[in-house]
Amino acid sequence: MLEFPKAKIRYLCPIDIIGRNEIFRNKSTYGWRITKISTMINKKYAREVIVLTGGNSSSEKEISLLSGETVYKICKTIFPTTKIVLTRDELPKEAIQEDAIIFPVAHGEFMEDGGLQAAMEAEGLAFVGSDSKSSALCMDKSLAKRIVSEVGIPVVNGIKFAPASAPSTYSIISMLGRNLFIKPNAKGSSIDTHFVSSEMELGLTIHRLNEDVEYIVERGIDGIDLTVAILDGEALEVVEILPKYGFLDYRNKYTPGYSSKICPARIPENTRNMVKRYGEMAFRCCRCRDWARIDFLFQKDTGKVFFLEINTIPGMTQNSFYPISANAAGVNMPELISTLVSLAADRKREKINFMGGLG
């Protein structure tokens, strides 16, 4: 079982008196924490970690499997670990283990939209990541943009619509301009994302959309794609993404050689600090937990930064944005995974102690 000290430890640091930047430079703190965790196996709060990956209907199943395998291989070098591949949109019975920490590494529908999280909450399971309400909120791009805009974070203007009742092309262009991005309101990985630059293209694209899916159409802004990892509420390093062809769609994200990832991003220091601050603000106001990756767009000619979306279960392959951001901040994959398990175990311990106190 995995037992942790009673005082919450941020970023694996045994004492909370070191500034954020110093924590990331002090490798010994991570070594201490990993050793501490591994020697506490078969103690009081958890016997194993269960990595959940895959999925049935999720359009992001293949990426989920790659992320899940990466986490599983590293996790099992630190803790007793089991991997379960989801084959339907439900919590498998073999994952319902009171003495386990669940580590969901699955993307898309059911996995990230609060369905899986609600199922784990109903069983009283301890798991890594945001709860069901926060997951559902963040999966809804339009709602997440509205929430973060209320705390002063700039967002890209857009309209949510259903294809069967879409606004006229004339009204969309009048509001947002001719250069537009159209994407599903509740999917990730830039799946089914389109760029159009004329009223005719816009009309044809809307006509071809899946009528069972809600979409958002956003103003096209010529800018630099940025993303930042958030760990336990604090921003790590900012990553700059340069697609080889066109915009950052599914192909450019996941085909080797189709995009460049530069970290730290080649942006002014004040812009980097702004992205980190906005990331932390968005994480808090959307009630995220443990980790998230937040995407932004930097308009170089104006110096403005725009929020795009939050990913509550980031990709975790060796080439994914989150590990790149973490590594640049001095947090390698074993350290990252042990931190996330630690945060979930802390909540489990607090719940057990609270219930014991009530008894």
Whether residues 162 and 201 share a domain: the answer is yes
Examine the pLDDT at 56 and tell me if it is beyond 80: no
* pLDDT > 70 fraction of the chain, expressed in percent and rounded: 79
Q: Which pLDDT does position 284 carry in this prediction?
A: 98
Model confidence at 296: pLDDT above 70: yes
Is residue 145 domain-shared with residue 173, that is, in the same domain? no
Residue 268 has pLDDT above 70, yes or no: yes
Q: Which residues pair with 49 in a beta bridge?
A: 81, 101
Q: What is the CA radius of gyration of the chain?
A: 21
Evaluate if residue 274 carries a pLDDT over 70. yes
Q: Give yes or no: residues 56 and 203 share one domain.
A: no
pLDDT at 8 over 80: no
- Are 258 and 307 within one domain? yes
pLDDT single digits (tens) 326-358: 999 999 999 999 999 999 998 988 877 666 655
Q: How many CA atoms lie within 13 A of 84 on its CB side?
A: 21
The token pair that represents 6 in the structure block: 């009673």
179, 202, 219: which is the final residue of a domain?
219
Closest CA to 56 of 85, 83, 84, 87: 87
Give the model's pLDDT for residue 351: 76
Range of weakest confidence among 27-36, 51-60, 98-107:
27-36
Same domain, 305 and 215: no
Residues 107 and 164 occupy one common structural domain: no
Confidence band of 93 (pLDDT split at 50, 70, 90): very high
What's the total number of domains in the chain?
A: 3
Q: Is 242 contained in some domain? A: yes
pLDDT of 70 strictly over 50: yes
- Let me know if residue 295 belongs to a domain: yes
Q: Is the pLDDT of residue 137 over 80?
A: yes
Q: Quote the pLDDT of residue 243.
A: 78
Non-local CB neighbours of 315 within 8 Å, separated by 6+ positions: 63, 66, 67, 107, 293, 321, 322
Q: Cβ–Cβ contacts within 10 Å for residue 121, how many? A: 14
The pairing of beta strand 126-127 with beta strand 158-161: unpaired
- 278-289 residue pLDDT tens: 999 999 999 999
Q: Is residue 352 part of a domain?
A: no
> What pTM does this model have?
0.84
Q: Which residues contact 263 (CB under 8 A, 6 or more apart)?
A: 237, 238, 239, 240, 324, 325, 327, 328
Whichever domain contains 120, its CATH number is 3.40.50.20
Q: How far is CA 277 from CA 173, 214, 255, in A?
A: 32, 30, 31
Q: For residues 108 and 20, state if they share a domain.
A: yes
Question: Is the pLDDT reported for residue 213 higher than 70?
Answer: yes
Q: Which of 34, 44, 102 is nearest to 350 (CA)?
A: 44
Question: Is residue 211 domain-resident?
Answer: yes
pLDDT range class, residue 218, cuts 50, 70, 90: very high
Cβ–Cβ under 8 Å, residues 252 and 258: yes
pLDDT, residue 257, reads: 64
Domain-embedded: residue 102: yes
Give the pLDDT confidence score for residue 193 in this predicted structure. 86
* Residues 38-45, mean pLDDT to the nearest whole number: 48
Domain of 229 in residue numbering reads as 138-154+222-312
Strands (DSSP E) contained in 5-136 are: 48-54, 81-86, 100-104, 126-127
Mean pLDDT of the chain: 84
- Residue 181 in tokens: 């991005």
Percent of the chain with pLDDT over 90: 66
Residue 262 lies in a domain: yes
Give the model's pLDDT for residue 40. Answer: 45
The answer to whether the CB of 160 falls within 8 A of the CB of 146 is no
Tell whether 31 and 55 lie within a shared domain: yes
CATH number, domain containing residue 190: 3.30.1490.20
Residue 230 forms beta bridges with which residues? Answer: 235, 292
- What pLDDT was estimated at residue 256? 61
Predicted pLDDT of residue 109: 83
Residue range 16-32, pLDDT digits in tens = 222 333 333 344 444 44
